[in-house]
A and B are shown apart, each in its own frame.
Chain A
Amino acid sequence: MVRYIIRRLAWMIFVVLGMTLITFMISHIIPADPAKIAAGLGADASAVENVRRDLGLDRPLPEQYIRYLGGLLHVDLGRSILTGRPVLDDIKDFFPATVELTFYAMAVTMFVGVALGILSAIQRGRWTDNLIRLFATLWVAMPVFWFALILQIGFYGNLQWLPAGGQLSSGIKLTEITGLVTLDALLTLNFSALFDALKHLILPVSALALTRVAEVTRITRSSMLEVLGMDYIRTARAKGLQEQIVIIWHALRNALIPVITTFGLQFGYLLGGAVLVEAVFQWPGMGRYAVLSITSVDFPVVMGVTVVASIVFVLVNLLVDVMYVLADPRIGYQ
């Protein structure tokens, strides 16, 4: 078990190293000359050359890569071309909002997805199953950004039930502890802020989660169906166990294993979706930050967000691998 985790950690380091190679290569295919951009408009040739030497852009590529790697290890993600601020500082500001959004979206995805999947499996063939399956097919095809927009038009534009965007209404005071709004509100027992924050979360989380719910439902359903057909389930029923116990204690625990495996994959899609949803709902997270910098061609920011998001993704996958081994110890011995 421990050996497995150590192996996974070593793999993670290797993968992250490989990722930095790719991000470095991507940073170097931009058609614009970074030295010219950094030197600013109107800088003459010698000034640009000075900047080029300062930034180390005249060194051979492998050396530049080492410098880049060194920078990353010191958590230096460069500076925003637009604001001049270190990208890292901006990301620190926006990171918690994205964490909050994706956390709730992931929770909804898993709980609702698994629940619907189980229901669909138990009710196989009946109208509930067919309805859920139809819903699942439809929702996988749904463009996240369009759905988010529709929700916004419907629940804010037409019904005025929910806010248009943002994390909190202006005028709500909240002391910041972790940066996670709902957590901070809970910790400071500020229930009006908590309620306000949750209201702001409903639409973005729904938009983000529902497309993933469909996927998880499908996986849970097929996994559940496979498990329910197994002999040990027949034995449990023959023993006279209550159906609920058979389903929850015996079937579900085993059926969930493929679902845990897909957790990492779904999280990856969720990160991508978060960029789109944050743009629609003006959610103050990394995604919106990235989209804004795309419009202003602030490339260091885009790369910074890419690096951070990818590292988070790798960490989550590592966590999933560990959970997977805890759920199915046989894996650890392979």
Chain B
Amino acid sequence: MSTETGLAPNSPKIVSMLSNPSRLLPYIRGNELAILGFMLLAILLFLAIFGPSLAPFDPLKLNFKEKLQPPSQEHWFGTDEAGRDIFSRVIYGTRISFRVAIIVVTMASGIGVTVGTIAGFYGGRVDDIIMRITDIFMAFPGLILAMALSAAVGASVEAAIFAISFVWWVVYARLARGQVLAAREEVYVQAARSIGVTNWRIITRHILPNIFPVLLVRMTIDSGYAILFTASLGFIGLGAQEPTPEWGRMVATGRNYILGRAYYSTFPGLAIFITVLAFTWVGDALRDWLDPRLRGSR
């Protein structure tokens, strides 16, 4: 058996995961939250992709005659100050949130894992320097740094994506570094080295596939938090701008009309809450499935 061409001997989880998805079932069946999480996530994903064609009204169409209506048969979540259907806007918001979550998590993990792997694998000076840099980034409270960056660049969805990635890459760098440090000492890596496998190959074909499960769990749970983060930025005015139906922005706008019209802020906020829950439950289920021992690596 060659460690050069195939995956490392002890990456059973990822191999079995990909070849035998039914193995996931026993872990889900017994876990109600996981079932709920998967179902919710499926629904949300469906809404993100097909929502725009399913939404009953145009989320941007102004209709001042019907402004600020409470929930009714026609407008399930009521209407906002421009007469737009809140239900449709919340559905469109799902697409925005998912788009942001995917981009942020991809960017943050892409940069972070690369940097962290370099630090963990090569060690020494490189590791020291990279760790000092991450220390500096981590010295800022997350939302505050993102706030400063978004305000500097100019409020927009792209700015929010950039800002959150700017804050979060360090998390993945630390995580990857820790995992790589451990993986580096494994026998299969020593073995690969001893037969002359290049560093690049060791990293890409042996180490990365093995740390992938931990990263996947983190990325899943972080997708929910990315949406939370974006909504928080949106709430204080950074991030998506009117008339884009971003959930955080909608909660903020709803505040102006809150007396007697709690529905305006309630439904977008509920959407955020449910989405984050779904990602958290699915992430937890993934973690329990991939390795119960990993529970401590949160």
Contact = CB atoms under 8 A, between A and B. Distances in A.
Given A26-B152, A141-B280, A146 B144 contact: no
B273 A146 contact: yes
B143 A146 contact: no
A27 B224 CA distance: 30
Contact of A275 (B136, B144, B248, B272): B144
Nearest to A305: B144
B173 to A, nearest CB: 15
A222 B296 contact: yes
Given A16-B139, A294-B238, A317-B139, A272 B144 contact: yes
Contact of A146 (B133, B153, B251): B251
Interface string A263-293: 0000011011101100110000000001100
A50 B254 CA distance: 45
A22 interface: yes
Nearest to B280: A141
B76 interface: no
A108 to B, nearest CB: 19
Interface string B12-40: 00000000000000000000010000000
A143 interface: yes
Interface in B202-248: 224, 228, 231-232, 235-238, 248
A303 interface: yes
Interface stretch (A61-69, A174-182, A306-314): A306-314
A219 B224 CA distance: 20
A31 B150 CA distance: 12
B147 A306 contact: yes
Given A140-B280, A291-B236, A19 B140 contact: yes
Nearest to A272: B143
Contacts of B248: 143, 145
B232 A145 contact: yes
Interface string A172-197: 00000000000000000000000000
B266 interface: yes
Interface stretch (B48-56, B65-73, B78-86, B255-263): B255-263
Interface in A1-46: 11, 14-16, 18-19, 21-23, 26-27, 29-31
A137 B265 contact: no
A210 B233 CA distance: 20
B148 interface: yes
A137 B136 contact: no
B281 A137 contact: yes
A146 B141 contact: no
Contacts, number: 144
Contact of B236 (A14, A150, A294, A306): A294
Interface residues of A, number: 52
Given A16-B139, A143-B269, A145-B251, A279 B276 contact: no
B150 to A, nearest CB: 8
Contact of B276 (A30, A141, A268, A314): A141
Given A15-B136, A18-B132, A310 B144 contact: yes
A70 interface: no
Interface string B119-131: 0000000000000
Interface in A87-122: none
A57 interface: no
A157 interface: yes
A132 interface: no
Contacts of B258: 149, 153, 157
A141 B251 contact: no
B103 interface: no
Contacts of B259: 157
B148 to A, nearest CB: 4
Contacts of B107: none
A268 B142 contact: yes
B144 A141 contact: no
A149 B273 contact: no
Contacts of B110: none
B269 A146 contact: yes
B47 interface: no
Interface in A158-213: none
Contact of B147 (A11, A141, A222, A290): A290
Contacts of A31: 153-154
Contacts of B151: 294, 297, 299, 302
A142 interface: yes
6 contacts: A141-B277, A144-B232, A146-B272, A153-B262, A306-B144, A309-B144
Given A30-B154, A276-B236, 13 more contacts: A29-B153, A30-B152, A30-B153, A143-B248, A149-B258, A269-B143, A275-B143, A275-B236, A297-B151, A302-B148, A302-B151, A305-B144, A306-B144
